[in-house]
Amino acid sequence: MTAHANPRDLPPEDDDVFDAPDAAEEAQAEPCDPGAEAPQTPESVKRGVDVIKKHWRHAPNGPGVYRMIAESGEVLYVGKAKNVRKRVASYTRLAGHVNRIARMISATTTMVFISVETETDALLLEANLIKQLKPRFNVLMRDDKSFPYILIAMDHDAPQILKHRGARARKGDYFGPFASVWAVNRALNALERAFLLRSCSQSFFDNRTRPCLLYQIKRCSGPCTGEISMDDYAELVREARDFLSGKSRNVREQLAREMTEASDRLEFERAARLRDRISALSAVQGAQGINPRSVEEADVFAIAKDAGRFCVEAFFFRAYQNWGNRSYFPRADATLSEAEVLDAFLAQFYQEHPSARCVFLSHPIEDGALLEEVLTARIGRRVEVLAPQRGEKRELVDHALQNARQALGRKLAEDASQQRLLGALGQAFGLVSAPRRIEVYDNSHIGGAQAIGAMIVAGPAGFMKAHYRTFNIRSAEITPGDDFGMMREVLTRRFARLAKDGETEQDREAFPAKPDLILIDGGRGQFDVARDVLRELAVEGVAIASIAKGADRNAGREAFFVEGREPFRLPPHDPALYFVQRLRDEAHRFAIGTHRARRKKEFTKNPLDEIAGVGPSRKRALLLAFGSAKAVSKAALSDLEKVPGVNKTTARLVYEHFQRE
């Protein structure tokens, strides 16, 4: 859902003017009075209004979604409306628009409409299109990573407790969301000590002949080797589910009674184990921060605004416990209000994440009732969306709002510091102004094998990981280990693609697609290669610098190569030097990590993967029948045809593949 150019932004509509006309009247109808033109209206706005008027005549008279599109094909804005025709008509006034809306109208050259059955459908479709198209004038949620959960998997006689992220395809109970992986790991460590549930994989469990180390350190009850009966293990699972479902007080009281009874019977070892379990439960609850007394399950969102920037702070409460918080910094126009940005943010947020039964907000939103309807239909139970004014619910919102303000303050300070570093770097390398986009390149390989090139990107907001890229070295003409040849291929592919795609107005206004500065990890040779590639591709306006490792690879003694200057060093304690080292180290980390992942994939590659027509199920059937890929390669055709699930055609494919090999 977007921050619309809604009625709060625009002059009030006259419903009589925009009632749906009949066919005879429609040819005469106009969406606005031409006499309303303001003398200072720019020509670009007038052109945009004329375009919108033409499309207005064909706009649906009901709920739907509309897209405003620029001449280049870029989608400028995605909006929804209960009545698309009335909403589009509001853009045809020549006066009264805020600057953001005026710029959007000026750039519009065509519009596309989609009719839907209900306003709820429009809300969902709008959020989907915003996520896919990332329009320049919409509020964009920058972080859409899934949240981690704790899963008690119930697809085995001895259920497993583990961290889970992604689709809920496995049978079991999911508890969350947790705001971070760190929060889940901390909770899992304590829960293993408290309930002694196994966390090992199925194959590990099936192949144990004696208890593992987790049993020895009292973090597992050892169901794999019969150290605990399945009935007693099931009781531990029940206690863990009760605790995570909000019945923590009952679980603690039950354990306390058992500890007292064991002590009275002089079973001091059992009493000590129960004491340790109670202490572990206390650690789980004590680490949750503030825990609500009367709110069992809620998502709390608060938004803060400062210096034209926004921060949305999200807290997640489940089972009367605080399961962490996360800060979001959505991209939004500075002229929007906090309520408008929060309204737009929530629809995008709940596209990816399940909702709690209650959603508490710091600001009332226009589409609160509609959001309630969507979330209720999605999770199959009543969801309440409100901005509480008093009581404990308001205290939770105020706490989130305080965190939002603090997080935004830290973000602004970090960005200011990053801007100073960019300025210092630009000055060190002789740039006219501070670079907005820096690209750093590095290669990684072992003797030329699994060679990859890596590109990392940095800008005013720090490392821009969404823009990182890797390049598998494909050229057969490159001698294994030829760093110069690999660098030439990487840079050629990168800048040839950039020239083909071009740079849109959105790129220039938001984060540019073209770098101001590229840094190459290497000496004079790599610098010359980069300079030649940019000259061959006629790339202008991009500065090049290469970083040669210092004597004895000593950080702090790096030599820099820049066009038109002799090699030079930066002062040992120069902030720009530390910044360059951070950039280089991040490029190393990314390149080496990608190379290792590719090498690992090659090591674990199965020969059956190379056979077209043999999918996971048939591969599994062949491996179960013969034990290994090597045995499959030596099997006779008649034996392959006898494997359950493998037909004669597939058997012949497999047989002929290995015969050719």
- CATH label of the domain that carries residue 111: 3.40.1440.10
Strand 517-521 to 543-548 pairing: parallel
User: Residue 334 pLDDT more than 80?
Assistant: yes
Cβ pair 400, 302 in contact under 8 A: yes
Domain identity same for 267 and 196: yes
The pTM of the whole model exceeds 0.95: no
Q: Can you say whether the dihedral through the CA atoms of 175, 181, 182, 188 is positive or negative?
A: positive
Q: What is the mean pLDDT of the chain?
A: 80
Among 65, 67, 68, 76, smallest CA distance to 134 is for 76
* Positions of E strands within 48-138: 64-69, 75-81, 110-115
Write down the pLDDT at residue 605: 63
Domain identity same for 471 and 584: yes
User: Residue 31 pLDDT more than 60?
Assistant: no
3-state secondary structure of 69: strand
Domain identity same for 346 and 236: no
User: Residue 424 pLDDT more than 70?
Assistant: yes
Q: How far apart are CA 520 and CA 443, in angstroms?
A: 10
The percentage of residues in the chain with a pLDDT greater than 90, rounded to a whole number, is 14
Write down the pLDDT at residue 175: 80
Indicate the length of the chain as a whole number: 661
Write down the pLDDT at residue 163: 87
Q: How far apart are CA 561 and CA 520, in angstroms?
A: 10
Domain identity same for 308 and 269: no
Residue 278 covered by a domain: yes
Q: How confident is the model at residue 13 (pLDDT cuts 50, 70, 90)?
A: very low
Write down the pLDDT at residue 251: 67
User: Residue 448 pLDDT more than 80?
Assistant: no
Which pLDDT tens digit goes with each residue over 509-520?
A: 567 888 999 999
Cβ pair 31, 68 in contact under 8 A: no
Give helix then strand counts, H and E, for the chain.
23, 18
Of 133, 166, 185, which residue is a domain's last?
133
Tokens of 405: 């303000």
Q: How confident is the model at residue 363 (pLDDT cuts 50, 70, 90)?
A: very high
Of 565, 580, 602, which residue is a domain's last?
602
**Mean pLDDT to the nearest integer, 455-465:** 89
H helical segments located in 537-615: 575-603
Q: For residue 387, how many C-alpha atoms fall within 13 Å in the half-sphere facing its CB?
A: 15
Domains identified in the chain, total number: 5
Domain identity same for 594 and 615: no
Judged by average pLDDT, the poorest of 132-141, 211-220, 289-298, 390-399 is: 289-298
Domain identity same for 477 and 560: yes
**Mean pLDDT to the nearest integer, 331-350:** 89
Domain identity same for 254 and 280: yes
Q: How confident is the model at residue 246 (pLDDT cuts 50, 70, 90)?
A: low
Cβ pair 638, 613 in contact under 8 A: no
Write down the pLDDT at residue 5: 42
User: Residue 25 pLDDT more than 50?
Assistant: no
Write down the pLDDT at residue 386: 92
Which pLDDT tens digit goes with each residue over 577-603?
A: 888 888 988 998 998 888 888 777 766
3-state secondary structure of 627: coil
Distances (CA, A) of 129 to 83, 293, 372, 513: 18, 40, 21, 22
Domain that holds residue 616: 607-660
Domain identity same for 219 and 160: yes
The percentage of residues in the chain with a pLDDT greater than 70, rounded to a whole number, is 84
